[in-house]
Amino acid sequence: MPNNILDQIINKRIKDIDEEKKKTSIKSINESIEKNTSYIDFKKKIVDNSQKEKISIIAEVKKASPSAGIIIEDYNPLDIAKIYNKNKATCLSVLTEPNFFHGKMIDIQTIKKEIKLPILCKDFFIDKFQVPWSKSFGADAILIILAGLNDDLAYELYEEALKLNMSVIVEVHTVEEAKKALNFDQALIGINNRNLKTLETEINTTYDIHNVLINHKGPLISESGLKTKDELLEINKKTNIKTFLIGESLLKNLDKNSIFSIL
């Protein structure tokens, strides 16, 4: 039996993707990609903000998580995306993992039809097939979680995304992972304050790791456990990180969230 939540999610995702590959041909995926005109450069939007010394918020669209359970009962991803767009979110992160986060790939397509913001497909990428598959629904970026992958597979996913002109966030939680992440020189690097094996959150993770990544040429992102505008400003002051991926604290107070006033 898997001894942590990340293993459980990945083991289930491997089975799900094997089933999806039986139903969905690469030919049909490529045809969908060719027809899609909604793509936006995810990384460029964040880099442009960073060069102007502006804060970026990647606002997360999700119904549930293993740590929080159901966050929004009456879940409508497009309605959430509209609120984020109105509040000038830089990019969106859309959860598409179905079993633990109650997400669907079609949610990206639904949002993209009405909202002109770059979208990260927030999923557990364990197979190269998922990269074009996510792009066929309108995703502009993928997530590579180093804690859940061997080095060869991580690099295979990265290369496939670059080949498809997609942006990549390489996510790390430890100093060892951060050192490996430096090999992905065209990626954004996300420091996840949440340990995906135990689900515990520690904001100091960003402080502990950012020094290892100081020479990475792309922007760094602080992810998870961020609750207030003051926390973001404090992290920015101490680390010069200007990009933040925020989910739960935005979702629990969608209508009037003071975090957006930082933009």
- Dist CA 182 CA 83 (whole Å): 35
Structure tokens at 55: 């804060």
Per-residue pLDDT of the chain (263 residues; tens, 9 = 90+): 346 889 999 999 999 999 999 999 999 999 999 999 999 999 999 999 999 999 999 999 999 988 888 989 899 999 999 999 999 999 999 999 999 999 999 999 999 999 999 999 999 999 999 999 999 999 999 999 999 899 999 999 999 999 999 999 999 999 999 999 999 999 999 999 887 777 788 888 899 899 999 989 899 999 988 888 888 999 999 999 999 999 888 998 887 667 887 77
Per-residue pLDDT reduced to its tens digit, 142-167: 999 999 899 999 999 999 999 999 99
Strands 188-192 and 69-70, by their bridges, are unpaired
Query: pTM of the full predicted structure?
Result: 0.94
